[in-house]
Each structure stands twice: as C-alpha cells, then as structure tokens.
Amino acid sequence: MSQSRLQGVIAASITPVTPDHQIDVPRLAAHIGQLLAKGCSHVSTFGTTGEGASFATGQKVAALQALKAMGVDMGRQVPAIMTPVLDDAVRSLVAYRELGCRAVLVLPPFYYGATEAGIAGFYDALIERTSGASDIDLLLYNIPQLSRVKFTKSLVETILSRHGSRIVGIKDSTGDIENGLMLVESFRNLAIFTGDDRVLPTLVSKGGAGMIGGMPNVFASDLKALYDNPGNREILDKQAKRIVAVDNHGSLVALKAALAHYGGDEDLARALPPLQALDAKQRASLIALFEDTGFRAAA
C-alpha cells in the first residue's frame, strides 16, 4: 500500500448509546475528537470495546456515514468488522472503503469454532467479493478468548500466501507477551499491535507497531507517553494496576463508567443489552482504584 505504516496508540473507542439502544453519534464524534487530541494516531470504532458484535451492520455503517458528514477525519478511522455473516462483512468493507477509512480490523467468524482451512476460506471469500475495495488495508483481529479462533503462525502464513498485498497487520488481544513477540519476529512486514497496556513497551521495543485497545478511552495521554517512552516504568506500573481494575469491573462497561464520572455525562455509562452499566457501588470501587494510581481527571 502507498499509505504510511499504521503505528502508535489506536483507541478502540467505546460506543455511546441512546436510551432507545441506538448509536449516539454526536457523543461518539465528540469522544473521537478528544481521543485524537490526546495523542491517539487513529480510532477504531465498533470493536470489542465498542460493542461491535451487538450493533447491526446498518447501524454501524450509518453511524460512520454520519460521522463523516459531521467532519470527522475518516483517514484516521480503523473500524472493526465483527460478524460471522459473510454478506454483512462484505457490505461493511465496501462501505468503509467508500467512506475513506484508513484500514479495517477484521474479526474471524465466530460461533462455529471452524478449522484453520475454514477461517482462511472466510478471508478468501471476503477479499474475492470485495475486489473493488482492494485499496483499503486489512488487519487480522486475534482475540481467541471471545472469537474461538486463534491466528496461529500457520494460519497467518496461509492467509498471507493468498492475500499478502491486502493484509498489513494483526491486533493481538491475547495478552500473551510471548505470542505478541512471536508475531513480531515471524511477520516483519506486518504492523503488530497489542491490545494490552502491559505488553506495549516490550512489543514496541522489539519492533511492534503499538497498541489497539480500550484503555486509551480514559488514559490516552498516559499511553501515548508510554508508547513514546517504553522504558517509563512509572507509567507502566500505573497502567498495569488500572487495567486489572477495569478487567475486574466489567471491562468496557468500566471504561464507560469512568468516562461518565470524569466527563460529568451519565449518558456515557449506558451500554447495549445484554451488558449493564455499573451500579453506584461498583463505580465508586473502580474510581477509588484509579485514584490510588494518582489519576484524578481524564488525561
């Protein structure tokens, strides 16, 4: 691709939700603007943190169209495709390319627990059916704890052997530092991202591209500083404690609760069913843990 290499801190944005379970586009646009202003290189909407598997394809496409109409820079958007439905994946990829998005993060089809040959076949079909959108970069999304599919070295090699010109990177959300380093060492031409703050410094020091994760929703400035200075042990220790706190309080709903608290906007705490917003006691526990790390306001 002629575009510059993807790298840096890419925020996997939360998705604000209206009371009638729609995407709150104005709040999403404002949040994206804040993330970019705080140092994120790009924003990834509708991934795991963005409840991407819970929204319909039409909702997500319409939201991105509205964001573009509002002046959001689509060249800094890396939306996710999270669906086991091939037709929906095709529709999404074509739409995101037409909108001018920088790249697309593609989750493998979940539910069936398919073989590696079947997973490779899904990417074959997606790429063959979107030949008119061949000028948008694709990243593989490795999150086996939710997708039930692991991008092993052999699976990545198979996909690259068929579609190497389309695949530019991998997001490794296993949290396994050795797996991340294996991907960096094995695929030097790919941009390897971690989804885990604790892996970020080592991955970057070994040639990794950065992170695509949910924690920048609240801690973008600190994570940009950690990316720029991987040896900063103070920030790493704080982020390690913060990510444990988030994981122990419901992950993405914890991030939403923190944004609602620090931003003074309770609508940001709302999640799409079946997820539920933290109650007052849970939120107080989360905020207390953040403040124990010295965090007082959105950084």
pLDDT at 147 over 80: yes
Query: What pLDDT shows up at residue 299?
Result: 44
Q: What is the pLDDT of residues 236-247, one digit of tens each?
A: 999 999 999 999
281-to-20, 29, 44, 153 alpha-carbon distances in Å:
25, 30, 30, 44
* Average pLDDT over the chain, rounded to an integer: 95
| Confidence class for position 66, pLDDT limits 50, 70, 90 | very high
Look at residues 110, 126, 111, 26 and name the one whose alpha carbon lies nearest to residue 71: 26
Taking the C-alpha atoms of residue 88 and residue 81, their distance in angstroms, rounded to an integer, is 9
**Chain centroid offset of residue 78 CA:** 8
- Between the alpha carbon of residue 29 and those of residues 45, 86, 93, 137, the distances in Å are 11, 28, 21, 23
Alpha helices in 129-199 (DSSP H): 144-147, 153-163, 177-186
Residue 148 CB coordination number (10 Å):
14
Entry pTM: 0.96
Q: Where are the domains of the chain?
A: 8-229
Contact by Cβ (8 Å): 184, 192? yes
pLDDT of residue 3: 64
C-alpha 135/C-alpha 143 separation (Å) is 25
Rounded distance, CA 120 to CA 155, Å? 7
CATH class of 8-229: alpha beta
